[in-house]
Amino acid sequence: MMRWLFVLVAALGVPVMPAGAEEYWITYEGNDLPENEGWERNWGNWDGQYEGDGAMRTIQDGILTMDSLFDVGVYDFAYVDRPGQIDPAPGEIFVMEWRVLVEETTGEPYFATGVFLTSDDAWNLGFGMYPDAVVSSFEDVTVPIEPGVFHEYRVLSTDMRAYELYIDGDLALTGSFWDGLGEGLLSWGEGVQGVAALAHWDYFRAGVIPEPDSFLLLLVLCASRLRKYERGSKQLKEY
């Protein structure tokens, strides 16, 4: 039976605290395993939580590779609990961004690799990644992507009710959070049993920052597109 482990973990969270976080920035940059960089790890298999060794994980050149293709019962994800310390205050904006290449999945039509968050008052947002698409899991909305290459994802929200999703610097989706379970959780990795994936994670970052004016936001997006162009040019030269 499929189990949405991100939601189950969120449901175990502590009671809600006053909403509105101070500015913060939490990152994973692929320099070591997540649990050695300040993240908690949750893993297991059909025998239960913390059974088995989880996904096969390796670090090379700042990239974390997670491989669970050997067993669709394996789940393995990183998370941070911040009850009452996730949401932006007035004049602030919540940012969540990650760069990942999902090389292969099994157990379609469900995804294995994804990111998930719960706001301070239990509004949920999740994205599942396939080799050729990303899906807003609670809205069942799918956006196609180019397979076989890394993609940069960025989520922006000022109220933890509505969001914008940018892919490689381009606005790809606007949508809404789901009124669900849990409080104050950030998680990413392979969190669903019954499916498996081979995925390469470059980074995951999330936090609350001062809300930029429209001109500054435009500069940020232009810088992101420039990095994408420079990276693509470098890859072409190497090829």
pLDDT of residue 203: 98
pLDDT of residue 110: 73
Q: What does pTM read for this prediction?
A: 0.81
Pairwise CA distance, residues 228 & 232, whole Å: 6
Identify whether 239 is part of a domain: no
Identify whether 224 is part of a domain: no
Question: Residue 27 maps to which CATH number?
Answer: 2.60.120.200
Identify whether 236 is part of a domain: no
pLDDT of residue 156: 98
pLDDT of residue 112: 86
- Nearest CA to 109 out of 91, 125, 86, 133 is that of 133
Pairwise CA distance, residues 96 & 98, whole Å: 7
Pairwise CA distance, residues 8 & 154, whole Å: 25
pLDDT of residue 226: 53
Pairwise CA distance, residues 140 & 234, whole Å: 35
Identify whether 155 is part of a domain: yes
Identify whether 113 is part of a domain: yes
DSSP annotation of 174: E
Pairwise CA distance, residues 2 & 193, whole Å: 6
Torsion of Cα atoms, 217 then 133 then 126 then 163, to 10°: 30
Per-residue pLDDT reduced to its tens digit, 206-231: 999 998 764 445 455 555 455 544 44
Pairwise CA distance, residues 109 & 2, whole Å: 12
Tokens of 195: 């499916």
* Beta carbons of 104 and 182 less than 8 angstroms apart: no
**Domain range spanning residue 190?**
3-211
pLDDT of residue 223: 52
Q: What ranges in 84-213 are assigned the alpha helix state H?
A: none
Q: What ranges in 84-211 are assigned the alpha helix state H?
A: none
pLDDT of residue 109: 63
Question: Can you list the residues of the chain whose pLDDT is less than 50?
Answer: 1-21, 214-216, 218, 224, 228-239
Identify whether 233 is part of a domain: no
* Beta carbons of 156 and 163 less than 8 angstroms apart: yes
Identify whether 218 is part of a domain: no
In total, how many domains does the chain have? 1
Identify whether 221 is part of a domain: no
User: How many Å is the Cα radius of gyration of the chain?
Assistant: 17
